[in-house]
Structure formats: structure tokens, C-alpha cells
A and B are shown apart, each in its own frame.
Chain A
């Protein structure tokens, strides 16, 4: 029970500071869950993000569910997910009840212009941390470049914008094909010996 509460409270805090599409939460998760508590590893986190991108729902929530499940099964998944939701729900309830023009307030706009700068840096930091174990050879580097261009500039290079889920599925299939081909090659080399 104590651990469930800790799980819940950790994700309440994370939910309150996750701005900018869920990716900025990665450095926070790393600090809170990997470094401080040893609940998960950076490799696992990265895989959760990969999966969270191609399953329904919001990526940050999917990642919360994964971590909670790994820690304490279904109860843990519920604690982490509801914890992540708690902050945003309370904030929107307050705004809806009292602050009609919240987003137009000058002080809010300035504060969030500042926060966006920080989010940028946190995302760069996340990419740097994940790079070494994700981009390991020419194939993965090529895949990185292709997906980046298609995702960031798909309006310019393609007639239609490919949804992230489609890109993720294609990348997964490419990974399976490439690693099967590789295995076959090394398999044959082994036979020749």
C-alpha cells in the first residue's frame, strides 16, 4: 500500500510538470524513477515511448501505465495513471470554474514562453541520452533520418501527412526485416564453418 501511494504521488508530481507533448517528461522520469528510485531503466523507458506512440491514447499516459504495471501490476498501473491525471484535472477544473481567459493572461503567456525554452532543452537532453543505444549502425541511422524528415516535414516531402502510428509500424516492420536478413547472413556464415 505504501508503495502504491508512493507510485501515485510520484506521478501526481510528474503530471503537474509535463508540458509539451509528453517528451519533456523523459528527463524528469529519468531523474525520479531511474536515478532516484531505481524503479526502471532508461532502456525500458525508451521502449515504453516507442510503444506508446503506436497504441491509442496519450503517450505520457501510456508510459505512466507501463511503469506502474511493471512496478505493482494492475494496481500499480492504476495508481500511476490516475496519479498522472490528477494534476491536469484539478487545474482544468479550476480554470473552467474561475479563470475564463486564463490563456490570454499576459503573465501566463510570458511564463509559458519561458517554459517552452526549457522544454526544448529537456527534449534535446532526452534525445542525447537515448541516441547511443538506439542509433547503433548505418541502418538505424538511416531509419532515424528518414522518420525524422517524414515526421517533421511530411507536408513538404509527401502529398499527405503520415500519422505517427503508421511511421512507427513501418519502422517496426523494417527492423524485423533487417534483423532477419542479418541473422540469415550470420547463420549462413556459421554453416560454412
Chain B
């Protein structure tokens, strides 16, 4: 079997079985690393760092990287498409189903419970980012002083961004770009 086909098959499987966000692909990536040797465990650790500093989820990034390393640019593209294919097919089926059964009592009931659960998880995701972006636990641990717990310049930036979006309706993409520049200038 050609390398590209094997790549696509492996990443298709990963896409099919990893449920719930990019990090869910990690266990599959470690298995694939052991089974194929396409990339090392150190590559995975590096890719986690890269994924945190580029757009796109770790699963997509790893598939692009592994595909490129083993089979060049076509490998990178095809492996990524293979990763996305299972969810694409499943969502297409669900979208059809949803259009038909939207008014169904059971579906309505399920969403009644899903909605608060969904935003609870979004809140938790926000908390996770805030833990890295707005507080400095190690400085707090070292000094024990509450003023060291918060990264004040980050909190100031957060307040400014919040106001710019809420009150002045600045575009989120513009706000992301500004935050990157502020981060570089003020050495966040």
C-alpha cells in the first residue's frame, strides 16, 4: 500500500474515533507514532506547542506535519483531509436528521439539557485559557503575595478588549491582531 494511502487511512481512523475537541486526538497520535514511526513522541510534544501558537487544532496540525514529513506537500494535504472526512460525513447525516426532527419532542428535550451543558463547557474552556493568560500561579507560589497572582498587564488588556468589543463593536479578528502586537511590544 502506498504511503499516502496508509497515511490517509490512519488519520481517517483518528478522525473517526476522537470525540470532543483537538486534544482528544492525542492518544491516537501516540499509538500511531509507536505503530508507524512517522513521527516521534518528541514531535508530538513540539506539535502541541506549535498548535498552541498557530490557528487550528492539534489533530489537523499533526496530520499535516506527519503527512508532509512522510510524503511531502501532497501527503500533508491529503492526511489532513482524511482526518476531517469522518466528521464531515457524520455531520452531514446529523444535519439532515436535525432539519427533519427539529420539532420532535425528544430532540427538543435533548437540546433543553444540551444547551446549558454546552455553555458550561465553553465556560470551562475559558477558565483554562484564563489560568494561563491572566494568572501566574508560580509567581504566587514563590512569593505568597496576592498581587503576584494576577498578571496585571494581561488583565488590563482583557478589560480594554472587552470594552472595545462590547461597546464599540470592534471586529474580533482585529482584536486578535491587536492583542498579538500588544503582546510583543509589552513582552507578555
A60 within 8 A of B: yes
A69 touches B95 (CB 8 A): yes
Instruction: State in angstroms the CA–CA spacing of A122 and B166 once bound together.
Output: 10
Given contacts A55-B90, A56-B90, A109-B53, contact A89 B64 (CB under 8 A): yes
Contact residue among B56, B84, B157, B171 (Cβ-Cβ distance under 8 Å from A81): B84
B16 within 8 A of A: yes
Chain A residues within 8 Å of B24, by CB: 163
Chain B residues within 8 Å of A58, by CB: 21-22, 25, 57, 59-60, 84, 87
Instruction: State in angstroms the CA–CA spacing of A117 and B156 once bound together.
Output: 10
Q: For the complex, would chain A's binding face be called helix, strand, loop or mixed by DSSP majority?
A: helix
B124 touches A20 (CB 8 A): no
Given contacts A18-B56, A70-B95, A143-B117, contact A114 B188 (CB under 8 A): yes
A50 touches B88 (CB 8 A): no
Please count how many residues in chain B sit with their CB below 8 Å of the partner chain's CB atoms.
Answer: 91
CB distance from B96 to the nearest CB of A (A): 8
B69 touches A103 (CB 8 A): no
Given contacts A61-B84, A88-B54, contact A117 B161 (CB under 8 A): yes
Chain B residues within 8 Å of A180, by CB: 105, 109
Stretch in contact with the other chain, from B2-10, B29-37, B127-135, B141-149:
B127-135
Residue of B nearest to A134 (CB): B115
Q: What are 13 A-to-B residue pairs whose CB atoms are below 8 Å?
A: A19-B55, A22-B22, A46-B119, A57-B91, A77-B91, A89-B80, A96-B69, A97-B68, A102-B54, A122-B172, A127-B123, A143-B120, A172-B117
- Show the binding face of B for A, using Cβ within 8 Å: 15-22, 24-25, 46, 49-50, 52-57, 59-61, 64-65, 68-69, 73, 76-77, 80-81, 84, 86-88, 90-92, 94-95, 98, 105-106, 108-130, 132-134, 154, 157-158, 161-162, 165-166, 171-173, 175-176, 178-184, 186-188
